[in-house]
Amino acid sequence: MASNTELFERAARVIPGGVNSPVRAFRAVGGTPRFIARGEGAYIWDAEGRRYIDYIGSWGPMILGHGHPAVLEAVTKAATEGFSFGAPTEREIELAEEILKLVPSIDQVRLVSSGTEATMSAIRLARGATGRPKFIKFEGCYHGHTDALLVKAGSGLATFGHPTSAGVTPGAAADTLVLEYNNVEQLEAAFAEVGHELACVIVEPIAGNMNFVRASVPFMTALRRLCSKHGALLVLDEVMTGFRVALGSAQSHYATLIPGFAPDISVFGKVIGGGMPLAAFGARRDVMQHLAPLGGVYQAGTLSGNPVATACGLATLREIQKPGFFEALSARTRQLVDGLKAVAADNGVPFSADSEGGMFGFFLLPELPQNYAKVMTTDKDRFNRFFHAMLDAGIYLAPALYEAGFVSAAHSQADIDATLAAARTALR
């Protein structure tokens, strides 16, 4: 049996950094990544046979836990029928119909293979539908690794962004305006200056890559009002929050708080694939008609809507619609969050936490941050010590200060109790 260290050394010889996605490398927290051998329910086992309570859940998709019987049955059946055809299948229609049933803001949806592909296509669609070049994103929100989205804030209010990745040219970032999350005043000023050039605003309703930071109601209200006023499209990136924070996704939560609220374009991923490579973007029919083969906005993908992924996603979506599912998931997640806050308070540790549905986040700060700059003030060294103490106790949290966590329907009362007991020791 190879150890995690041996596997990491072997991987580093053939894969850059030894990983196929940077956050897996443990560089933010130090130490050696755990190479996962299998998962079942709320647990994963590493290559050395060590079991962990899993609060990553493949970064959100595993809302039912690992290896749910109904999902396994659907995937196994689909695999025996064929992996990929490069031609339409009825199951693509079924999955699209299921998504539309749960998200009333969209009339049509296009299936793709990754969240990055979906956000990239949504922005291209917004530009094609409006005939405008520029768009707004917010610092701390992650929408995939497309060139125009790998941008940090400029030095001035309406200064367009600068590339944050080598290989991204200034020209690729020239039409991206980066603003501060939850800053209504800055948003108003930006629209006043360049509103006539804006194709869209893209935003995570709950940001999951600066840990867990939710958009305030005044901020989301202003977004909807300003986009409508200036003819820009509001793109809600629900790759992480979609069908994870509520059955109708985060937009259904905001619709209960803001009368008439709805985005113009919605982007989904993770849960709709149930752990398989699958994502989607959707909008009103008049917007979607700009997509090829109907319109001039080109988008294509050989594996888009492939039969095994759609079977996995469809089975997952059907399970989460069962009566009481989200009530139970939300209660379990809230129990974890409230328990962590209580344990931190008992230890005199500055701590704040929040959750919605099966998604949660915590900060080593006395109050919940509202933007990226505040998130960055978290005590990184203390977090790293906490992470490793929890990992040693068999609790698998995100190996970075800036990532949200996820609870599944498979997490039991005993799992929550074990997690809180480990946290009580770790926070000392």
Query: 298 an active-site residue?
Result: no
H or E segment and range at residue 222: helix 217-230
What gap in Å lies between CA 29 and CA 401, rounded to an integer? 8
Region of 60 please: left (phi>0), alpha (psi -120 to 50) or beta. left
Count CA atoms within 13 Å of residue 417 on its CB side.
3
Run of H or E residues at 191: helix 184-194
**DSSP string covering 86-99:** SS--HHHHHHHHHH
CA torsion 209-213-219-223 (nearest 10°) is 30
How many CA within 13 A on the CB side of residue 170? Answer: 3
Provide the sign of the torsion angle of the four alpha carbons 242, 243, 245, 248, taken in this order: positive
Catalytic residue among 43, 52, 55, 142: 142
- Residue tagged active-site, from 46, 54, 175, 237: 237
Helix/strand/coil for 256: helix
Q: Which structure tokens are listed for 173?
A: 């970032």
Centroid of chain to Cα 392: 26
346 is catalytic: no
DSSP string over 365-422: SSS---SHHHHTTS-HHHHHHHHHHHHHTTEE--SSTTB-EE--TT--HHHHHHHHHH
Q: Which of 55, 175, 181, 270 is catalytic?
A: 270
270 is catalytic: yes
Q: Which residues are catalytic?
A: 142, 237, 270
